């Protein structure tokens, strides 16, 4: 595989990949016969595939390969990959939408999450809301703070009413 060709996709064989934690909790691993002291992992689009098509990159951001299905990895590698992805894509789960109001040129969201109350501020809605599917919504404010609504339909009536004209 040539890391220089941006269009080449190297599918990683689960038998030739292993991940673990190094000193200080650094995510590292072995791909083929090459050991990497630090690796970065990213989900590929679409985000509806939470456990499939995981891009593995070196610290320069160069893709080393793609894991098609993380369930095929050995238990330790799968566990460490899941931990790394959950840290990278950390987003509190919205349990209630208290209010969504437009103030001046800003949208202010008052939310209750599984980690407590929070406020998100957005200049416009279309740039700060992702809809990865199945009534799931990912909200990102102007400062990069994220929250996830796993299922809009599962929210209480008050929350759905707040979202009625927005989603």
Q: How far is CA 32 from CA 40, 55, 70, 105, in A?
A: 17, 15, 16, 52
Dihedrals phi, psi of 145, to nearest 5 degrees: -70, 135
pLDDT of residue 1: 45
pLDDT tens-place values along the chain, 167 residues long: 445 666 788 999 999 999 999 988 999 999 999 999 999 999 887 677 888 999 999 999 899 999 999 999 999 999 999 999 988 888 899 999 999 999 988 999 999 999 999 999 999 998 999 998 789 999 999 988 999 999 999 999 999 999 998 88
pLDDT of residue 5: 66
Query: What pTM was estimated for this model as a whole?
Result: 0.68
Q: From 113, 110, 119, select the one nearest 92 (Cα to Cα).
A: 113
Average pLDDT, the chain: 91
Tens of pLDDT, residue by residue over 69-94, are: 999 999 999 999 999 998 888 889 99
Q: Where are the domains of the chain?
A: 14-88, 94-163
pLDDT of residue 104: 87
Residue carrying the six token digits 């599962």: 154
pLDDT of residue 6: 67
Instruction: Report the distance separating Cα 6 and Cα 14, nearest Å.
Output: 22
Instruction: Report the distance separating Cα 99 and Cα 80, nearest Å.
Output: 37
């Amino acid at each position: 595989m040539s890391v220089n060709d941006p269009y080449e996709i190297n599918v990683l064989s689960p038998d030739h990949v292993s991940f673990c934690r190094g000193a200080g909790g650094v995510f590292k691993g072995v791909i083929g016969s090459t050991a990497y002291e630090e690796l970065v992992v990213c989900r590929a689009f679409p985000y509806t595939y939470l456990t499939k098509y995981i891009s593995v990159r070196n610290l320069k951001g160069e893709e080393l390969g793609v894991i098609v299905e993380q369930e095929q990895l050995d238990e330790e590698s799968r566990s460490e990959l899941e931990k790394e992805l959950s840290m990278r894509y950390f987003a509190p789960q919205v349990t209630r939408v208290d209010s969504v109001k437009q103030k001046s040129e800003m949208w202010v969201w008052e939310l209750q999450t599984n980690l407590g109350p929070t406020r998100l501020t957005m200049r416009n809605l279309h740039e700060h809301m992702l809809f990865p599917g199945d009534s799931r919504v990912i909200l990102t404010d102007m400062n990069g703070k994220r929250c996830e609504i796993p299922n809009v339909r599962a929210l209480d009536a008050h929350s759905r009413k707040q979202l009625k004209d927005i989603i």
